[in-house]
Structure 1
Amino acid sequence: MINDKVSLKFHFHIKRHKKINRSMAGNVILFIFMGIAGIFMAIPLVYVVSNAFKPLDELFRYPPTLFPRHITTNNFSDLFVLMSNSWVPFSRYILNTIIIAGGGTLGHVIVASLAAYPLAKHDFPGKNLLFSMVVLSLMFTWQVTQVPNYLIISKLGINNTYLAVILPAFAYGLGLYLMKQFMEQIPDSLLESARLDGASEFRIFWSIVMPNVKPAWLTLAILQFQTMWGNTGSQFLRDEQLKPLQYALFQIVNSGPARQGAAAVVTLIIAAVPIIFFLIFNSSIIETMTTSGMKE
């Protein structure tokens, strides 16, 4: 029988920093500074939202205005008409995006977690070398690996399929690095106690390790979803029925000045989905960034 201790979550103990004593004037100055910085960071997002409600003449106005003078929803109706008249149904693009983004995100979280566990909690020959290769891979941009990825996908015979876009997402090194660093904070005594109670390695991984690194893999899921959401699949997907929503939206953006109203709505949609996804799970990201260690 596995001890009840194995099935319970081990909570993180965040190191408490000493409260910094500041004067009222210092607090006011800090508040003003943070407020100004927040406004500057919010301006691009406000500009994207306002452009979606501007008529065509205001979109080409120079100098550009931050807020629309005459609010209109014609841009949304224009985008709806364009997508309704497309050769492939709009719902098909959405389905393709869900399959690609969902499959790539889920697969990456699972593979990165499974690979990070032995690197964090087991000793074996070549462990440091493998992790050094993972860290080294973070230095290369996707353009560097574009050609090797295409050759591998072609050799596997999965070109022009969903797997051609989903499978490379499993191997992103950032996820493995993040999960390993977080798993190392789990006390070894907790895992040894589970082994003494007869728990298998998979049981330890699934019932103890994964619940305790939940902020890390939720953060990883957010980052990976944002990456997959912006993937147009143009490198591997040739059939129009397989292409994601991003591909169709970018075609509208590049269709000329007459479609700039619809293009403004497209920009809003592209930015809105990752932001909404982030807002839902932002507490997990904050917890990941603020957790500084665990105590035995």
Structure 2
Amino acid sequence: MIDSRPFAEIASFKITYKSKQKKRINRSKTGDALLFIFLALSGFLSILPLVLIFSNAFKPLDEIFLYPPNFIVQHPTLDNFRDLGVVLGTSLVPFSRYFFNTILVTVVGTVGHLIISSMCAYPLAKYKVPGSGIIMGLVTYSLMFPSSVTGIPNYMILNWFGLIDTYWAIILPVIASSLGLYLMKQFMITVPMSLIESAKIDGAGEFKIYWKIVMPLVKPASITLIILNFRALWAADGSTYIYREDYKMLSYALNQIASAGPARQGTLAAVAMIMIIVPIVMFIISQSNMIDTMAHSGMK
């Protein structure tokens, strides 16, 4: 007599599996719906401040002080920007000077940080450098310290080198930041060593390998680093290290104009829009590279 228990168990397993699979599919659809609602709500709440900033820039002064506030401007006007232009026109230092200072510091600091951090990360990622574990440990620990903690030591070092009241007082702390080294090293680890060995066989030197092979492969990390440094330097006012008016940054000049009290709230809204629009455009253009970098480096 044939024992039918194995077949019954198989049939029972199939029924149970199908039941679980069906429940899993239903649960997945429900989870996807809840996740979509959560992400949509989070995105909506995240974009509200940006909508308010752009809306306030075109609001007349009486509409800015309405309570509860209107997120969408009801009577758009360009008076805030005209007022900003008038104030900038009466400044002791031309507006073009503030703009030049900001562009110079931003470009030099961003490019310098990218080059130095990538050149330091390359040997740490692809070769057995003595003490590399200690170096990366120090780099990782340094990321835990906020700028408010390192502000006084930075000032003392810059003052000791006589760099206060110069552009280098803003540029050098950014170039020396450990974030770039960490990002580039984490990304360069993923570059196959076989590519480097093949390039050496073909007669390429270390710098050519670094510049022609490794750097193109870590383009997402490079773009992310450029955006992070650009955003930080674009918004830096430099008032801690620079006291000469003709060396001050655009952010400092605009904030000084907008801090004149309630009568300048419209101008403040225009300033906020001007300062935020450039980083937003850069992020929109290269957001896919930033997401790729965060996925590889473990950043949150």
TM-score (norm 2): 0.86
Which of 198, 207, 219 is the equivalent residue of 2:203?
Answer: 198
- Superposition map of 1:6-155 within 5 A: 27-155=32-160
1:3-49 C-alpha deviation (Å, 9 max, x unpaired):
xxxxxxxxxxxxxxxxx977766555444333222211111110111
Give the drift of 1:157.
1.5
- Superposition map of 1:271-282 within 5 A: 271-282=276-287
Distance in 1 (alpha carbons) for counterparts of 2:217 and 2:288: 15
Which of 150, 174, 177 is the equivalent residue of 2:179?
Answer: 174
Count residues in correspondence.
274
2:236 equivalent in structure 1? 231
Percent sequence identity over matched residues? 51
Judging by fraction of residues, say which structure has more helix: 2
Distance in 2 (alpha carbons) for counterparts of 1:37 and 1:147: 37
Q: Given the superposition, is the C-alpha separation of residues 21 and 104 from structure 1 closer, same or farther in structure 2, using an over 3 Å criterion?
A: farther
TM-score (norm 1): 0.87
Distance in 2 (alpha carbons) for counterparts of 1:21 and 1:94: 57
1:162 equivalent in structure 2? 167
Distance in 1 (alpha carbons) for counterparts of 2:37 and 2:125: 43
Give the drift of 1:64.
1.7
Q: Given the superposition, is the C-alpha separation of residues 228 and 292 from structure 1 closer, same or farther in structure 2, using an over 3 Å criterion?
A: closer
Distance in 2 (alpha carbons) for counterparts of 1:158 and 1:25: 60
Deviates most, 249-258 or 136-145: 249-258
Give the drift of 1:253.
2.2
Distance in 2 (alpha carbons) for counterparts of 1:168 and 1:98: 17
- Any gaps of 5 or more consecutive residues in structure 2? 1-23
Conserved in 1, the CA contact under 8 Å of 2:254 and 2:271? yes
Give the drift of 1:254.
1.3
Q: Given the superposition, is the C-alpha separation of residues 253 and 26 from structure 1 closer, same or farther in structure 2, using an over 3 Å criterion?
A: same
Higher relative contact order (CA 8 A, sep 6+): 1
Which letter does structure 2 place at the counterpart of 1:167? Answer: L
Give the drift of 1:137.
0.4
Distance in 2 (alpha carbons) for counterparts of 1:115 and 1:29: 44
Give the drift of 1:289.
3.3
1:3 equivalent in structure 2? none
Which of 215, 219, 237 is the equivalent residue of 2:220?
Answer: 215
- RMSD value over aligned CA atoms? 1.9
Give the structure with higher Rg (CA). 2
Conserved in 1, the CA contact under 8 Å of 2:187 and 2:296? no
Distance in 1 (alpha carbons) for counterparts of 2:159 and 2:296: 42
Which letter does structure 1 place at the counterpart of 2:139? Answer: V
Distance in 2 (alpha carbons) for counterparts of 1:114 and 1:24: 47
Which letter does structure 2 place at the counterpart of 1:71? Answer: P
